[in-house]
Amino acid sequence: MSKIKPAKGSPYARILGVGGYRPTRVVSNEVILETIDSSDEWIRSRSGIATRHWASPQETVAAMSVEASGKALADAGVSPEQIGAVIVSTVSHFKQTPAVATEIAHRIGAVKPAAFDISAGCAGFGYGLTLAKGLVVEGSAQYVLVIGVERLSDLTDLEDRATAFLFGDGAGAVVVGPSDEPAIGPTVWGSEGDKSETIKQTVPWDEFRSTDSSQKFPAITQEGQAVFRWAVFEMAKVAQQALDAAGITAEDLDVFIPHQANMRIIDSMVKTLKLPEHVTVARDVETTGNTSAASIPLAMERLLATGAAKSGDTALVIGFGAGLVYAATVVTLP
């Protein structure tokens, strides 16, 4: 018989607060057109993106995360000292070690929390949320800060007509804590490594180091049509599985917050899922671009701030991207 004592966590977990930070510089499509042969009409028709935010040298991954985290903590009514773990999802923190989560934890005033980074691309927020839920339920932390943050402008090839217009910068954060009722559903997540070449860094860091100085800095590249088909057809199935796992139907939803990759993908998923007219759909991509791990919390924060969604609404969130990886779950909005 095991001598290990049972966990003393909460029976359930929920998102208690959300915060976001968008860099001050707004970049229009006209700026993008200075380096690629395209048009504003083409960019909008292909992606739905009109503007995106690019970070200044001072708006680092850590600095943006600290700003978003402060808003999330205030929204949740939780002090930094109560945070037991900090989970950061990012692919654009350029120090291999230490994890940027440790710096963020220190800067917000958390006291010796567990702190670590994860790399799950555009599904990173869903991965972090799932880990946070587990920590709260098992009792390893009473409150967990989950951050999705990217400076994708650092990894954008401005001469690549297929991707130059897609990416933006920003940070989104949520506080996860105890709940008396289910408020974060089961996560449907996974990976399809046989498709890992469809979204990738152009040059590995070690190869970049060994080449001459004329080598272009590594950037993110993708096979647009392959990614589009996968996202539209396969991710709609995953989204439906998340609804089934939560024991609800599309009719029970109030809000749909997909990864803000592309407006065409979002609209196609809405159609495939047959979402009712009453469901509010996040379309933050139009003015924020694709911010990878930050896109879902940023979109969630904007919906709540503008009144398009309200506290207590039932929302389906799904992230998908490089790997190819994905994560979907149903949550109650803070």
* Residue 122 designated active-site: yes
pLDDT at 247: 97
pLDDT at 210: 72
Residues 6+ positions from 328 with CB-CB distance below 8 Å: 126, 187, 188, 189, 235, 238, 239, 241, 242, 316, 317, 318, 319
pLDDT at 194: 87
* Residues 160, 293, 290, 248, CA torsion sign: positive
* Residue 53 designated active-site: no
d(CA 145, CA 113): 10
Given 29, 93, 262, 290, which residue is catalytic?
A: 290
pLDDT at 143: 98
Given 29, 53, 93, 259, which residue is catalytic?
A: 259
Residues 103 and 62: beta-carbon distance below 8 Å: yes
pLDDT at 204: 81
pLDDT at 211: 66
d(CA 196, CA 160): 20
Q: Which amino acid is at 71?
A: K
17-44 tens-digit pLDDT? 999 999 999 999 999 999 999 999 999 9
d(CA 188, CA 235): 11
* Residue 29 designated active-site: no
pLDDT at 212: 65
Given 106, 122, 262, 278, which residue is catalytic?
A: 122
Segments of the chain scoring below 50 in pLDDT: none
